[in-house]
A and B are shown apart, each in its own frame.
Chain A
Amino acid sequence: AQTVTQSQPEMSVQEAETVTLSCTYDTSENNYYLFWYKQPPSRQMILVIRQEAYKQQNATENRFSVNFQKAAKSFSLKISDSQLGDTAMYFCASNSGGSNYKLTFGKGTLLTVNP
């Protein structure tokens, strides 16, 4: 079974600053995928970034990047130049092999960007 742990229930950052959200996971699979989803107050979950476990290079998407440490089973999200619109709940998630690649989520981190 997979587990995903987010140890920071809430975080805040000043606009234009950089913030890092932590995530650790546990899996017995060799092939798996990791995701960060954002859930703004409107509640629609949106994919922020994804990482294939067999790729050593960290994924980046504009202001969002990850620090993937496979041996430590750590997958943190870095948001650079934080914007007010980044205020949201952020969920770390993983999936692995099997028939359907269901997502296993962490409990989430509520990020508030302050002006």
Chain B
Amino acid sequence: EPEVTQTPSHQVTQMGQEVILRCVPISNHLYFYWYRQILGQKVEFLVSFYNNEISEKSEIFDDQFSVERPDGSNFTLKIRSTKLEDSAMYFCASSWGLALNEQFFGPGTRLTVL
């Protein structure tokens, strides 16, 4: 059964460093999302991506964040200069369509910023 994959499963980085989180969505999906979950808190929307551009972003998704679909299969989230408060689980999701269509989630990347 097709699934969303994410690498790495755990990333440890120093404050101020750049990190790139990678996702491979399900191949025929058209809509892509990043969410994050700070430990003990709710899952929060970061950004959605469709047709090679951002369709919506939350207030969390500031200039330090960027997303890219460089080769038609990978979907990456880059944090330019990490802060302590960026420590969280980052989930990638994809869906074929909107509305009632299921968003399929990856297993997440745990980012720890020291």
Binding site for B on A (CB under 8 A): 33, 37, 42-47, 50, 52, 91, 93, 95, 98-108
Residue ID in chain B nearest A31 by CB atoms: B99
The majority secondary structure among interface residues of chain A is loop
> Please, could you name 11 A-B residue pairs with CB atoms under 8 Å apart, sorted by A?
A42-B107, A43-B89, A43-B108, A45-B105, A47-B104, A99-B55, A100-B50, A100-B55, A103-B103, A105-B43, A108-B42
Which residues in A have their C-beta under 8 angstroms from that of B35? 103, 105
Residue ID in chain B nearest A95 by CB atoms: B99
Q: What 12 additional pairs, Cβ within 8 angstroms, besides A105-B42, A108-B43? A: A44-B107, A47-B102, A50-B102, A95-B99, A99-B50, A99-B55, A100-B50, A101-B98, A102-B33, A103-B43, A105-B35, A105-B43
Q: Do A45 and B55 have beta carbons less than 8 Å apart?
A: no
Q: Do B100 and A33 have beta carbons less than 8 Å apart?
A: yes
Q: Do B105 and A105 have beta carbons less than 8 Å apart?
A: no
Residue ID in chain B nearest A6 by CB atoms: B42
Which residues in A have their C-beta under 8 angstroms from that of B100? 33, 50, 52
